[in-house]
Amino acid sequence: MLESDTSKLSKKELNIIQNYTEGLFKTVREPLLVLDRHKNVVGLNSNFKKKFKVNGEPEAGVSVFEFNNEQLDTPEFREILDDLQTEGNSISERNIQVALPQKGKRGFKVNASVLPLPDENSIILLSFKKLKNIRDLSQQEKVYNRLVENILSNAPAAICILRGPEHTFEVANEHYLKLIGHRDIIGKTVIEAIPEAESQGFIELLDHVYSTGEPYIGNETPLKLKVGEEQFKNSHLNFVYQPTRDKKGKIDGIFVHVVDVSEQVAARKNVEDSEARLRSVINTVPAIIWITDTDGQSVFLNKNWYSYTGQDNEDAKGMGWLNATHPDDRKMAEFAFLEGHNQRKSYSISFRLRNKQGGYRWVLDKASPKFDADGNYEGMIGTVMDVHEERLKENLVREKDHRLQGIVKEATVATAIYTGREMNIELANDAMIKLWGKDDSVIGTPLHKALPELDGQPFLDLLRNVLETGEIYWGKEDKVDLMIDGEMQTGYYNFTYKPLRDKNGEIYGILNMAIDVTESVTSKMLLKESEFHFRQMADLMPGMVSKTDGKGDDIYFNKNWLDFTGKGSEHLKEIGWVEYIHPEEKETFLKAWEDCLNTGCNLEMQLRLKNKEGKYIWHLSRCEAVKEDDGSVKMWIAANTEIDKIKEEEKRKEEFLKMISHELKTPVTSIKGYVQLLLSLLKKQQEAAEASKLPLQPSLERINHQVTRLTRLISEILDLSRIRENQLELQSEEFNLNELLAETIQDINYTNTQHKIALESKVQAHVVADRDRIGQVIINFVMNAIKYSPGSHEINVKITREDEDRVRVSVKDFGIGIGQENHKKIFKRFYRVGVKSEETYSGFGIGLYLANEIIERHNGEIQLNSELGEGSEFSFILNATQITS
Ligand code: ADP
């Protein structure tokens, strides 16, 4: 129940209410009293003052019961206020008696209503009407008046009532009059009173309401009102056209209730304008911008979103924007957004967004939470940028990585990729896994776990160093111990640790490529070993051994060389061992050596080498070429064997032989002389005194033959010594070569009857030469022809012209012949072909040596034409002083 209590309103509340009531006072003409909810007087209008004789302004907040000399403190008035609550906040047409000063008691009709205000405030409006003589009014009029008074006086809105189909203004409250600029309207039709309303469609609306009975509600409807000559005012109105009906229910007018919302509309328009401006700015940004509300629902997307995705407003609403993401990226995009939204934190994410054409492009979505001035979360705001090209480039790098992986897999070279500090085996091809002696399971594990045997070996540290410094490591024939088939095995590898960098240049891993060179390293080691053995052997050998490379530079000397020369190996390498050869042999050696270097043939010669005491010692020097598979000379091995003692022995032997020959020659010569003397005596005797019965002559002839052989042998041995000592002197004279040949053959025929020696003289030649020595050569040729052709009887001796001033003598047999390989050798001292022939054919192997020496000293030439089993033809060529045919 309403109590007049002592509570007062705050000043602020009071102000609000007073402001409000002021509006009312201007509108309502009836005496009007306004109370607050505590029944204190808030305000009163001038009519009230006049009617109730209020002097001056009432004291603010005075209780209504105390107000104006407790005028209203009557039981009826108190009842009205009490009943206000129970009767639905409104009391109408209650009569009260009020004592007016000087006038006494007067009757008033009271209408009261409680008007709720914002912030749970309310006011009580009380209008008073002096009681008329009620009997003068019709009942309908009474009701109508009450209603109109009530509405008009209390309503804060602009109200009017239009009558009839012409819409004639019947009543209008102050608000309404103010709205239309206080025009004189009562009794006029709307068209007459407000002609500008027609063109704005209001008459049409009124006609419609009047004719159909359907009320019309206008919402923020603009109205342009004329406020002066050519002056207009724009208003926005919320209004209701409510038809009124007469007793029979027939429409007789329209109740118009208008609220001017121009200010609100203008304010909102302002906001909308600035929002529109913002939107247009946002729309011109070359990026997609989106805003969500506090529930995470999309409330704004700038036009770039729509033009990019082809979505419309409806599509994108709420979480609809997700439909434009790539199906594979949708979950991720949604998750990122919800997480950012729920935790009110910024995020950035890249996903594929479908464009209008249906293609997908990579975008970067960056979002931040939005807060108002008080820090309340308002939703998320974000931008979406097309980063397709960048992303493709990135993918390219990844793809490159992928390609790299492909290459690694395909590579025949053992290859692996490690990543991170732990050296995770990211990839290893079959070759590498085989090299490790492991299986596929090592992929994905850290290297030190996959190959625990590396612990204690330098490789993990090397890898870490590559990761830190970015410097490539090249391993050359590095020794690696690996556990293969349950056994520690040592191998040697050439390998690289190469840093791998991402697109920003950061090292993210290492590429390891390895080649197993165990075989070559071990064979090199074996080679070194065998080289060592060779040196050891060479040092142990009695001779002096040296090695020379293919170009002829000395590269090795054994210990004996060092001992012999008293010099170090470096010194010998520098000057070369040739420097130690005696000047007499040096030139011959160098010539032969050069020939060797050019042709790759071997060399053998006797020469003297100077020892550390400066003494020359005879050596047999042999240089043998060691060749590569292609035939080129890899190196030469030279062995010098000391033959000084042998030489000396030989010398002594020769001296002995010389002496023997000399000693033998005298008695043999005298024996021969006597035998010949006896033979000639015997011949004469036979002619004179019959032949003796004794076989004296054949015996003597045999003796003579043997002595001739012996004499020749002794001469030859003597000649040998002479040649060695360079004492073989020639007694040159001019003689007829044909005659010498005929004589010699005749002599031989004398003792050899088995063979038929034919002499064919194509030319007659005179030569200047030692007749005996040339004879000796002819004898040697013919005797050999006889000796080595036991199966044939024919020997052809020929003298022919070689060229203009040279003559050739040749002796041809049809005997055993000589193999090509021996053609040169048979001219050497004591050389005889084959052991068997030595048994079959007597001889010492010095005849041809002497023959060669003799012819060479005559500046002639010996030639041999022979094949094994095909007979031989020996010939010599001499300069002739005269050749005639
Ligand atoms: P000898 O005949 O005393 O052995 P030579 O110096 O005269 O010594 O000959 C050297 C070698 O040459 C002989 O041992 C022989 O093997 C070979 N020889 C020489 N002449 C002939 C020939 N006419 N037919 C075959 N072999 C020959």
Q: What percent of the chain has pLDDT over 90?
A: 29
> Relative to the CA of 850, which ligand 1 atom is closest?
6
Q: Which residues contact 869 (CB under 8 A, 6 or more apart)?
A: 816, 817
CA–CA distance, 25 with 240 (Å, rounded to integer): 23
Residues 388, 420 share a domain:
no
Of ligand 1's listed atoms, the one at least distance from the Cα of 815 is 24
pLDDT in tens, 748-800: 887 788 899 999 999 999 999 999 999 999 999 999 999 999 889 999 999 99
Reported as a single tens digit per residue, the pLDDT across 710-719 is 888 888 888 8
> 832 CB under 6 A from ligand 1?
yes
**Residue whose CA is at the smallest distance from ligand 1 atom 10:** 845
Distance 830 CA to ligand 1 centre (A): 10
On whether the CB atoms of residues 171 and 161 are closer than 8 A, the answer is yes
The per-residue pLDDT for 839 is 52
Is the confidence at residue 30, as pLDDT, over 70?
yes
The mean pLDDT value for 482-494 works out to 90
Measured between alpha carbons, how far is 309 from 357 in angstroms, rounded to an integer? 8
Q: Please report, for residues 548, 563, 568, the alpha-carbon distance to residue 573 in angstroms, rounded to integers and kept in the order given.
A: 9, 15, 9
Measured from the CB, is residue 776 less than 6 Å from ligand 1?
no
Q: Which candidate, 328, 289, 291, places its Cα nearest to that of 308? A: 289
Ligand 1 contacts CB of residue 482 (under 6 A): no
Structure tokens at 654: 């020769």
CATH code of the domain containing 40: 3.30.450.20
Q: Would the CB of 818 count as within 6 Å of ligand 1? A: yes
pLDDT of residue 762: 94
- Kindly state the tokens that stand for 682: 């015997």
Q: How many other CB atoms are found less than 10 A from the CB of residue 343?
A: 10
Q: DSSP state, 183?
A: -
Q: Domain limits at 793?
A: 730-884
Q: Which helix (H) or strand (E) holds 375?
A: none
* Mean per-residue pLDDT, 367-373: 87
- The DSSP secondary-structure symbol of 452 reads G
850 CA → ligand 1 middle, Å: 12
Q: Rounded to the nearest 5°, which phi and psi values hold at 622?
A: -125, 130
Cβ-based burial of 806 (10 A; exposed 0-12, middle 13-18, buried ≥19): middle
Same-domain status, 196 and 341 = no
Task: Kindly report, residue by residue over 645-686, the tens digit of the pLDDT.
Answer: 888 887 777 777 777 777 777 788 888 888 888 888 877 777
Closest C-alpha to ligand 1, atom 12: 826
* Distance from C-alpha of 801 to C-alpha of 808, rounded to nearest angstrom: 6
End-to-end, the C-alpha distance of the chain in Å comes to 185
Cα of 249 vs centre of ligand 1, distance in Å, is 173
Cβ(782) – ligand 1 distance below 6 Å = no
With respect to residue 95, please indicate whether it lies within any of the assigned structural domains: yes
Query: From CA 718, how far away is CA 709, in angstroms rounded?
Result: 14
Alpha-carbon dihedral sign for residues 482, 484, 490, 493: negative
How far apart CA 797 and CA 376 sit, in angstroms, is: 140
Output 752 or 212, whichever has higher pLDDT. 212
Is any atom of ligand 1 closer than 6 Å to the C-beta of 98?
no
Report pLDDT for 735.
96
In a domain, 695, yes or no: no
Q: Is residue 236 part of a domain?
A: yes
Residue with the smallest CA separation from ligand 1 atom 2 is: 843
Cα(826) to centroid of ligand 1, in Å?
7
Q: What is the pLDDT of residue 444?
A: 81
CATH number at residue 774: 3.30.565.10
Q: Does the C-beta of 500 come closer than 6 Å to ligand 1? A: no
Is residue 376 domain-shared with residue 468, that is, in the same domain? Answer: no
The residue nearest atom 13 of ligand 1, judged by CA position, is 832
**844 Cβ inside 6 Å of ligand 1:** yes
Is residue 749 located within the same domain as residue 877?
Answer: yes
- Span 676-709, pLDDT tens digits: 888 888 777 776 665 556 677 777 878 887 888 7
Residue 388, domain member (yes or no): yes
Assign 413 a pLDDT band (cuts: 50, 70, 90).
confident
Sign of CA dihedral 213, 214, 218, 223: negative
> Does residue 235 share a domain with residue 114?
no
Who has greater pLDDT, 662 or 49?
49
pLDDT digits (tens, 9 = 90+) for 496-555: 999 988 766 778 789 899 988 888 888 888 888 877 777 777 777 778 888 888 888 888
Q: How far apart are CA 572 and CA 562, in angstroms?
A: 8
Residues 101 and 195 in one domain: no
In sign, the C-alpha dihedral spanning 515, 518, 524, 527 is: negative
CA dist 76 to 81, 201, 583, 638, Å? 9, 50, 170, 157
Q: Which residues contact 795 (CB under 8 A, 6 or more apart)?
A: 755, 756, 757, 758, 782, 785, 786, 789, 811, 812, 813
Spatial separation of the C-alpha atoms in residues 547 and 720, rounded to whole Å: 37
The Cα angle at residue 661 between residues 660 and 664, in degrees rounded to 5: 80
Between the CA of 875 and the centroid of ligand 1 the distance, in Å, is: 14
Nearest to 309 by CA among 290, 328, 336, 292: 290
Average pLDDT, the chain: 84
Cα 306 from Cα 313, distance rounded (Å): 8
Ligand 1 proximity of 871 Cβ (cutoff 6 Å): no
> Does the beta carbon of 875 lie inside 6 Å of ligand 1?
no
Return the percentage of the chain with pLDDT > 70, whole number.
Answer: 92
Contact call for residues 366 and 383 (beta carbons, < 8 A): yes
Q: Do 370 and 516 fall within a single domain?
A: no
Is the distance from CB of 148 to CB of 129 less than 8 angstroms? Answer: no
Contacts of residues 201-204 at CB distance under 8 Å and 24 or more positions apart, as own/partner, are 203/167
* CA–CA separation, 43 and 22 (whole Å): 8
pLDDT of amino acid 400: 62
Are 357 and 502 in the same domain?
Answer: no
- Residue 93: left (phi > 0), alpha (psi -120 to 50), or beta? left
| Residue with CA nearest ligand 1 atom 8 | 845
Q: 865 in ligand 1 pocket by Cβ < 6 Å?
A: no
- C-alpha–C-alpha distance, residues 234 and 337, integer Å: 46
Q: How far away, in angstroms, is 810 Cα from ligand 1 center?
A: 15
CB 425 within 8 A of CB 446: yes
Q: What is the DSSP string of 113-158?
A: EEEEETTTEEEEEEEEEE---GGGS-HHHHHHHHHHHHHHHH-SSE
pLDDT greater at residue 164 or residue 11: 164
Q: Of the candidates 327, 359, 392, which is a domain's last residue?
A: 392
Q: What is the pLDDT of residue 691?
A: 53
- Among 301, 354, 497, which residue's Cα sits nearest to residue 417? 497
Q: Does residue 434 share a domain with residue 303? A: no
Spatial separation of the C-alpha atoms in residues 92 and 151, rounded to whole Å? 11
- Supply the pLDDT for residue 2: 40
Distance 778 CA to ligand 1 centre (A): 13
Domains in the chain, number = 5
Task: Please check whether residues 737 and 812 belong to one and the same domain.
Answer: yes
Beta bridge partners of 863: 875
Cα separation, 412 vs 414, whole angstroms: 6
Measured in Å, residue 849 CA sits from the centre of ligand 1 at 10
Positions of E strands within 486-632: 487-501, 507-516, 544-549, 554-557, 603-610, 616-627
Atom of ligand 1 nearest to the CA of 849: 6
331 and 253 in one domain?
no
> pLDDT tens digit string along 618-633?
898 988 888 887 888 8
C-alpha 532: how far from its chain's center?
A: 46
Task: Examine the pLDDT at 38 and tell me if it is beyond 60.
Answer: yes
User: Could you tell me if 782 and 795 are in contact, meaning their C-beta atoms sit under 8 angstroms apart?
Assistant: yes
Q: Are residues 237 and 108 in the same domain?
A: no
Looking at the domain assignment, is residue 824 inside a domain? yes
User: Is 230 inside any structural domain?
Assistant: yes
Ligand 1 atom nearest 838 alpha carbon: 14
Residue 716: partners with Cβ closer than 8 Å, 6 or more residues away: 844, 846, 847, 850
Instruction: Find out whether the beta carbon of 827 lies less than 6 Å from any atom of ligand 1.
Output: no
- Residue 765: which residues within 8 A CB-CB, separation 6 or more? 736, 737, 738, 799, 801, 807, 880, 882, 883, 884
What pLDDT shows up at residue 287?
A: 79
Beta bridge partners, 384, equal 288, 365
The pLDDT of 19-47, averaged and rounded, is 81
pLDDT digits (tens, 9 = 90+) for 123-172: 888 888 876 543 444 565 566 666 666 666 666 788 888 888 889 888 88
Q: What is the pTM assigned to this prediction?
A: 0.36
Residue 29 lies in a domain: yes
Task: Identify whether 269 is part of a domain.
Answer: no
Distance (Å) from CA 848 to ligand 1 centroid = 7
